[in-house]
Structure 1
Amino acid sequence: MPPGQPARLSLRGIGKVYPAVVANQDIDLEVAPGEIHAVLGENGAGKSTLMKIAYGVTQPSAGEIVWEGQPVVLRDPAHARSLGIGMVFQHFSLFESLTVVENAALALPGKPDLADLARRIEAVSTRYGLPVDPHRLVHALSVGERQRVEIIRCLLQNPKLLIMDEPTSVLTPQAVRSLFGMLRKLAAEGCSILYISHKLDEIRELCHTATVLRAGRVTGRCVPAEETPASMARMMIGDELPVPRHARAAEGGDTRLHVAGLSRASADPFGVDLADIELEVRAGEIVGIAGVSGNGQQELLRAISGEAPLDTPAPIRLFGYEAGAMPVARRRELGLGFVPEERLGRGAVPQMSLAQNALLTAHRKGMRRAGLVDFGAARRFAADCIARFGVKAPGPQAVAGSLSGGNLQKFIVAREVLQQPKLLVVSQPTWGVDVGAAAFLRQQLIDLRDAGAAVLVVSEELEELFEICDRIAVIAGGRLSPLRLVAETSVEEIGQWMGGKWPGCADAR
């Protein structure tokens, strides 16, 4: 920062205390004009709370905020935006019943013309490689598409300080490259960027400086380019990063899921039609499905989970039963576990306690007695999830919406894994989860597979799929590629297939 020029934002002695936890304690952080500053830490380290304070969502219990050399009290996000502060949230703040352009209009002052705003959205989305249709309803968008909407909505405000909380967690590698190019351009023009990510390679590539938090306190500062991912991980977790390990080779036992010739038109006019899907997942193996968000993952998972049952039972078989038309409850009774990509809303009800959320899918595990709910058993099960998966929560009565994204993800995965399903279907298992927790969750999936379960993982993280899977396929344009043994393919080949260019594909060019 040039001598005499004030920092764009200074946080001095910031503290935030909630009834059950100290989220931030005596935190100092400074970001200069044109600086890309990373904030690192484990899930629950206090990163998101600190960013919400900087955006006016949350008021600090102690400390001072200085904006361009002047002390300020950020009354609310509208006040922050008026100063030039924008934020892209990890948990989306979109109205699902509104269109993309209507959501964007709500974040802008006055009453913008929707037709003109739609053209601006199309221009921004094209310029930065974040394609999205401004007229689509948000509830019909995939997680990756919703992330794009959040980013575009923020860019429309021309911010002086851009706060990004896990912005690339569900973006494709190509979109990440475009985003980084855009962020570097913004920084070169003087925009300051506060960047939260658990992807340490991204931090090293993009960020100029970094502040490390642990348990709500600053534990270190560094220049990411001068560090390695391992050294930054040690700063974050205070230990060496665990590496997931397979105890044995895949068994390839009985078929737990068999999809044969599944074709289905999407109920959403903007959705993706499934075309002749063939898929088999056997006991004792992990099968991965890679692909760019919005290529039919959502439609396929809803068909397998039973959230959108088929008209006929034949195309899907679970544990030998024709299950295409089965309701969700019956599929779970047979031994299906499911972790959806949306943590809040589908994976957990944010206003309910962890014990109540455990009851939603695990009530068959001794939580019913003589037709009544055994709430004591639900609390014990939730406490077991918390203890065994290292969830940072004050207890089973903690409200799900009060947990950090990574800790809520650990709880949801724990809830499904501890039911010992015969088949576990997981979408984006480590989205927004820190490096230590991500390694832990991947190991839990491997351990479940080693215990004889079948596991189907849908993820946009190619490195994750290659780390844990035995076989892998790609979904593109509603079509599924042939399954390949991970040992017989490569990230480069699967990356090419993500464009729909695999041998024998009708869409291959």
Structure 2
Amino acid sequence: MNARLTLEGITKAYPAVVANDQVSLTVQPGEIHAVLGENGAGKSTLMKIIYGAVKPDAGTVRWNGKDISVASPAQARALGIAMVFQHFSLFDTLTVVENIALGLPPDTRLDSLAARITATAAQYGLELEPQRHVHTLSVGERQRVEIVRALLTNPQLLILDEPTSVLTPQAVEKLFETLRRLAAEGCSILYISHKLDEIRALCHTCTVMRGGKVTGVCDPRQETAASLSRMMIGSELPQLHPRPHQPGAPRLTVSGLSLPKAHAFATELTDIAFEVRAGEILGVAGVSGNGQQELLAALSGEDTRAPAEAIRIDDRPAGRLNAAKRRLLGLGFVPEERLGRGAVPAMSLADNVLLSHQGPETVSSGMIRRGAITAIAAGIIERFRVKAGGPQAAARSLSGGNLQKFIVGREVLRNPKVLIVAQPTWGVDVGAAAQIRAELLALRDAGCALLVVSEELDELFEISDRLMVIAKGRVRPAVPTAQATVEQIGLWMSGMGEAQTPASTELERGHA
């Protein structure tokens, strides 16, 4: 039997880097094949070559035993190759069903397609509303659109990049069952993930890349997380050692925060109440689209509709303050959307420093101090080991993980009193994720109050002192992480259980 996909000697070079260097890879029919590597290892470039979005400089692509040259994604889809990108290819002004229709024959009826989307989404546990406009969706919800779009094509080869980051633990297992069923029916799956345990549980084969080259091929079921890590980064992952601590005074206090929908597809916030103390991390778990976006907008100052007293920063009313004034009170913010919110794509890293460092050290008499912002950017690049072409490199030239390290580093260097972080390690390799988490813990130990919103439960359990779940615009009272279980948090994320009532905030105040 011919292999479904064979790559031999694939090479792709850009002016500053060789992204793929003589890469070879074979995927059999019905095989779930992982591709593992650090950010910048060349995985995304290799997937884009398979999908026809990038043309290789050298090498051979063989599909079902025949040499081919995939000239475009449209040709790839015609061959039976579907891909879900880490950075989504969706048009904000179109609806979900209109976006999905773009990759289908022109005579596709939108009403029947909407029904197929709803059915497929329900089958795989991915909640979607076909008539919603994409600009109203969170990052996690946009990923669901991409996954469903790929599944609708009944592909022979399905390429998935970090597909489980939007799912509860229960839904992850359901997706795994679906992928195993697809594989049993002959569909091949290329699976990119930074979750080593996930790869070991699901995949039959793993190709490991480092610096654009293949460094090993193994059966991940026979490996440990430590051995996979050594193959990927050349060493074992650094271990986090959170030290015991006693939280200080409340730095961020939210009480009676209720907000109506900002648009038709938004989530209404109902009686949100919690506090974050100096020297602690409060983790917020929840399935994407349950009010995280709205809560973050209200806390960061993007949405100023809340009553002034509903949000207090260092015991000062802040509900009506804009983002700039909240920063003056000591607030730092890392949004979930890197390009467009966290960084301006076309601007240099040095210029992007100004998005949050706007003080006498960077601006004097209305003039930007170029030397100062360049030095800050260089310091972030060095301390957080950001792979970039220097402070003058454009933000869009960085891989997703490296841009995330830069944005987190930019906020950490401000030494904020309160830091709100959304999806701190979204799409970040395990080595960089460990570094980011270590920096967040160090900031906590220095007395900062951190609110971390993440759909990575393992991450929240690793770094949080207390955990809070948001579902359908309501939150449950925070519980000490040591008293929580993944299964219980997963159930709460799915909306099972009672929502928080005002009286229940007394439970969380008694945690210390």
Matches within 5 A, 1:201-350: 201-246=197-242, 248-310=243-305, 312-350=307-345
Which whole-Å CA distance do the structure 2 matches of 1:341 and 1:200 have between them?
23
Which whole-Å CA distance do the structure 2 matches of 1:197 and 1:355 have between them?
30
- 1:70 deviates by 1.9
State the partner residue of 1:121.
117
SS at match of 1:158: coil
- 1:34 deviates by 1.1
- 1:487 deviates by 2.4
State the partner residue of 1:464.
459
Q: Is the 8 A contact 2:169 2:487 kept in 1?
A: no
State the partner residue of 2:190.
194
CA displacement 1:293-329 (0-9 Å, x = unmatched)? 1111111110000011125312111112111010111
- 1:499 deviates by 3.6
Matches within 5 A, 1:380-459: 380-459=375-454
**1:69 partner amino acid:** G
Which whole-Å CA distance do the structure 1 matches of 2:330 and 2:68 have between them?
55
Q: Is the 8 A contact 1:244 1:440 kept in 2?
A: no
Which has the larger displacement, 177-186 or 334-343?
Answer: 177-186
- 1:506 deviates by 6.5
Q: Out of 50, 57, 81, which is 2:46 matched to?
A: 50
**2:388 partner amino acid:** A
Q: Out of 75, 86, 91, which is 1:90 matched to?
A: 86
- 1:213 deviates by 0.3
Q: Is the 8 A contact 1:170 1:431 kept in 2?
A: no
Which whole-Å CA distance do the structure 1 matches of 2:269 and 2:485 have between them?
25
Residues 180 and 490 (structure 1 numbering): CA distance in 2 closer, same or farther, change over 3 Å?
Answer: closer
SS at match of 2:356: helix
- 1:363 deviates by 2.9
Which whole-Å CA distance do the structure 2 matches of 1:441 and 1:317 have between them?
27
**1:106 partner amino acid:** L
Residues 174 and 501 (structure 1 numbering): CA distance in 2 closer, same or farther, change over 3 Å?
Answer: closer
State the partner residue of 1:110.
106
Which whole-Å CA distance do the structure 1 matches of 2:73 and 2:412 have between them?
38
* 1:73 paired to 2:69: yes
Which whole-Å CA distance do the structure 1 matches of 2:245 and 2:472 have between them?
29
Matches within 5 A, 1:7-18: 7-18=3-14
State the partner residue of 1:61.
57
Q: Is the 8 A contact 2:84 2:147 kept in 1?
A: yes
TM-score (norm 1): 0.96
SS at match of 2:419: strand
State the partner residue of 1:170.
166
Which whole-Å CA distance do the structure 1 matches of 2:347 and 2:61 have between them?
33
Which whole-Å CA distance do the structure 2 matches of 1:370 and 1:167 have between them?
48
Note the residue ranges of structure 2 that are not aligned, 5 or more in a row. Answer: 503-512
- 1:378 deviates by 1.7
**1:408 partner amino acid:** L
**1:239 partner amino acid:** S
- 1:485 deviates by 1.8
Which whole-Å CA distance do the structure 1 matches of 2:225 and 2:258 have between them?
43
**1:209 partner amino acid:** T
State the partner residue of 2:510.
none
TM-score (norm 2): 0.95
Which whole-Å CA distance do the structure 2 matches of 1:453 and 1:334 have between them?
13
Which has the larger displacement, 174-183 or 147-156?
Answer: 174-183
State the partner residue of 1:369.
364
- 1:168 deviates by 1.4
**1:319 partner amino acid:** D
CA displacement 1:126-158 (0-9 Å, x = unmatched)? 111111010111111122211110000111112
- 1:505 deviates by 4.3
Identical amino acids, percent of aligned pairs: 63
Which whole-Å CA distance do the structure 1 matches of 2:485 and 2:116 have between them?
39
Q: Is the 8 A contact 1:45 1:216 kept in 2?
A: yes
State the partner residue of 2:149.
153
Which whole-Å CA distance do the structure 1 matches of 2:130 and 2:488 have between them?
33
Q: Is the 8 A contact 1:363 1:378 kept in 2?
A: no
Q: Is the 8 A contact 2:477 2:500 kept in 1?
A: no
State the partner residue of 2:508.
none
State the partner residue of 1:378.
373
Which whole-Å CA distance do the structure 2 matches of 1:41 and 1:454 have between them?
33
SS at match of 2:255: strand
Q: Is the 8 A contact 1:365 1:419 kept in 2?
A: no
Q: Is the 8 A contact 1:66 1:72 kept in 2?
A: yes
Q: Is the 8 A contact 2:169 2:490 kept in 1?
A: no
Note the residue ranges of structure 1 that are not aligned, 5 or more in a row. Answer: none
**1:447 partner amino acid:** A
SS at match of 1:314: helix
Residues 506 and 282 (structure 1 numbering): CA distance in 2 closer, same or farther, change over 3 Å?
Answer: closer
**1:410 partner amino acid:** K
Which whole-Å CA distance do the structure 2 matches of 1:395 and 1:76 have between them?
32
CA displacement 1:169-192 (0-9 Å, x = unmatched)? 222222222221221122112111
CA displacement 1:37-56 (0-9 Å, x = unmatched)? 11001111111111011111
CA displacement 1:338-393 (0-9 Å, x = unmatched)? 01111122112222222222222223372112211122222221111111001111
Which whole-Å CA distance do the structure 2 matches of 1:486 and 1:177 have between them?
23
Which whole-Å CA distance do the structure 1 matches of 2:82 and 2:487 have between them?
36
Residues 443 and 365 (structure 1 numbering): CA distance in 2 closer, same or farther, change over 3 Å?
Answer: farther
- 1:431 deviates by 1.2
Q: Is the 8 A contact 2:271 2:501 kept in 1?
A: no
SS at match of 2:308: coil
SS at match of 1:243: coil
SS at match of 1:66: strand
